A and B are shown apart, each in its own frame.
Chain A
């Protein structure tokens, strides 16, 4: 399942190691991270890591499956 995490503030590529294999994109004061999330444990782990860094989480959204109708 693909997810999109929206974080407040623009975060550099240095933090991409925390979000292995995910895509980081910065736009107008926000960072959008997209990528595959394997399961609930993975999802919570990612959120916890964002929290640990004191970064504000704006939203978490599941993305529609590619090719789904």
Chain B
């Protein structure tokens, strides 16, 4: 479970949903617009070509014309979209802006909580089917590199309705079955050769729009020399602006064997005043620019004038919003600038990144702050930002964003930073990977003694974060989870923001252990503490767990009321389809079944199991499976019920300590209740010391455990042995020792 609920929707960069502005200088390439319209009704429209082939410009100009016919949604992809949650948040937000009806059926806030392939995308496809014709442009598609994010898109292409025209602009062919689409006439392709400027287009651009007054022969020479490469022609135009003898430059260009980029990049910069040159070079480290940010990075005050002048004269500076507050350099141009910056002022680059980091940190744009801190090799600062904000990313469903960032740290830096290793462990656990979590903890272990003192994410100490992690994620070991929970109660005080996570862990552990009184006490506390602390995941889970307990105790009216309350709270908090609280659906299903409403219960129990599989905690899943199998047997589907029971048996057999779940399973199967669970090693130690006559407090001193922890072990071993007093337990122990 995570610290807070889900008030933190992913932070959407609005500028990404804004197509590049169509400037007065842009020519309308009607022959290509016509081709794009041919993509209507086809599976895929692909605009593929290397950098600088005018893909975005073409599509932005086409979009302006096309919006008169049908809505056009636009997303410019970037590295952040490799987190599939971000990708689809942006796509759904963009579609909602283009078609208001869609925004109502499928709000973007839904994305972080709902499993993508299983819930969200099918729902999006249904909503689009109801919607009329619409175009979706995904620009810079090549920046989508993660296999997981691409997989979601491939699924979408398979199932989307033909009323949607999906246009991908990319430098590299996407990993989609292009051959098959082509063979079935389902693919529209505009490739580099289609995108090259023809001589008439170059003439219109250079002379009619830019007013360069070039002779027809010189235009032809430029087209030949650049092979119609739009960026090359535009670089030439920038170099030519203000040159008195334009023909001479064109001839010099034609006469050299130097690469277009090589020849023109020196010419282009040379066409600007030295101050503007410095401005462009130094701000080229930024992904996006605005006046205050540029001032900060340059440590000066002249950015407003420089940006205004460039925005007027340079098509490579692209406005990102209507107010012209944010801009970015065209990727290719930015790259040329970065090369030149590296050549002229290499020592300055880390300083520039550091200033960008400081500005973004102050401004509150944490994502970019972390990016620049890492680029400036300011790993200490980047680490502090991540340590302080990871919980917000998690609550926005962005665990993979945090993971990607951490993987960019040098191994040695990570290995020296206990806070970050702990974040890595939490993220791994939340993603359901026990192996990755254990690997991170092993690295933490090598650091030796953990420093005391509070952490920026609200934990009382590193030790405490580690302890709460072990309590919240049992990985099939109830005793270990309860032991960690007992220590966590002492480490995280009653005022801690993590307190509800601790109390939930204890409540859930006791529930698995069959100690329903204790479980109720802790879960009731959780349900009360969670809302003021914004801890909606554990808060909602606790209400569902309380409903399950009421059911076990035969209080069926209360059971149904609590299940309803859990569902309501999950819905209000956008958690209804979140994998973290699959027990809500299980509890709802079990409560309905207890009231004889089996038909309604089954789909809910299926949904509970489905979500709990994703969450990846064995005991949590077993709880859901037992409920589903019981209801399945109840409606007479013996084969399915047997398979589910078998799966649960295997799952529990792999758990180090499954508490009373094996007994619950046996009871559900109508089988004889199996022998009590084996004692854990720790419980055996405690039992041996009990038999030697020590008090629980003395045993604690002997084993370096708290009184609470020892007490927990004692209760657990009583339960496992089926005894109710120390005398009986000692008797059992002595008997066992005698037997040898």
Contact = CB atoms under 8 A, between A and B. Distances in A.
Contact of B335 (A7, A9, A31, A53): A53
Contacts of A29: 257
User: Secondary structure of the A side of the interface?
Assistant: mixed
Given A14-B340, A54-B50, A9 B262 contact: yes
Contact of B260 (A9, A14, A17, A51): A9
B196 interface: no
B409 to A, nearest CB: 15
Contacts of B52: 54
A55 interface: yes
A31 B215 CA distance: 32
A15 B339 contact: yes
B79 interface: no
Contact of B261 (A11, A17, A49, A51): A11
Nearest to A17: B342
A56 interface: yes
Nearest to B342: A17
B229 A18 contact: no
Contacts of A39: none
Contact of B259 (A10, A18, A49, A52): A10
A55 B336 CA distance: 12
A22 to B, nearest CB: 14
A12 interface: yes
A54, A55, A56: residue with the most chain B Cβ atoms closer than 10 Å: A54
- What range describes how many residues of B lie at the interface? 20 to 34
A4 B260 CA distance: 22
Interface string A10-33: 111011011000000000010100
B257 A55 contact: no
A14 B231 contact: no
A52 B261 CA distance: 11
Contacts of A53: 51, 261, 332, 335-336, 339
Contacts of A14: 262, 265-266, 339-340, 343
Interface in B309-351: 331-332, 335-336, 339-340, 342-343, 346
B180 interface: no
Contacts of B50: 51, 54, 56
Given A18-B339, A53-B336, A54-B52, A10 B346 contact: no
B335 A52 contact: yes
Contacts of A17: 339, 342-343, 346
B51 A52 contact: yes
A64 to B, nearest CB: 28
Contacts of A18: 339, 342
Interface footprint category on A: 10 to 19
Nearest to B229: A54
A5 B331 CA distance: 22
B639 interface: no
Contacts of A49: 335
B6 interface: no
Contacts of A10: 257-259, 262
A17 B346 CA distance: 9
A54 B231 contact: yes
Contacts of A55: 259, 261
Interface string B257-288: 11111100110000000000000000000000
B332 A52 contact: yes
Contacts of A15: 262, 339
B616 interface: no
Contact of B258 (A7, A12, A52, A56): A12
Contacts of A51: 50-51, 171
Nearest to B142: A51
Contacts of B266: 14
Contacts of A7: 259
B232 interface: yes
A52 B332 CA distance: 6
B265 A54 contact: no
A11 B257 CA distance: 9
Residue among B229, B258, B261, B336 having the largest count of chain A Cβ atoms under 10 Å: B261
Nearest to A56: B50
B265 A11 contact: no
Nearest to B266: A14
Interface string B35-72: 00000000000000011100000000000000000000
Contacts of B339: 14-15, 17-18, 53
A9 B258 CA distance: 6
A54 B262 contact: no
Contacts of B51: 51-54
Contacts of B260: 9, 54
Contact of B262 (A12, A52, A56): A12
A41 B259 CA distance: 27
A5 B432 CA distance: 42
Contacts of B340: 14
A14 B342 CA distance: 9
B270 to A, nearest CB: 13
Contacts of B346: 17
A10 B259 CA distance: 5
A20 B140 CA distance: 27
B192 to A, nearest CB: 10
B339 to A, nearest CB: 6
26 contacts: A9-B259, A10-B257, A10-B258, A11-B258, A11-B259, A11-B262, A14-B266, A14-B339, A14-B340, A15-B339, A17-B343, A29-B257, A31-B259, A51-B51, A51-B171, A52-B331, A53-B51, A53-B261, A53-B335, A54-B50, A54-B229, A54-B260, A54-B261, A54-B332, A55-B259, A56-B50
Given A52-B51, A54-B261, 14 more contacts: A7-B259, A9-B259, A9-B261, A9-B262, A11-B261, A12-B259, A14-B262, A14-B339, A15-B262, A15-B339, A18-B342, A52-B332, A54-B50, A55-B259
Interface pairs A-B: 3 shortest CB-CB: A9-B259, A17-B342, A54-B52
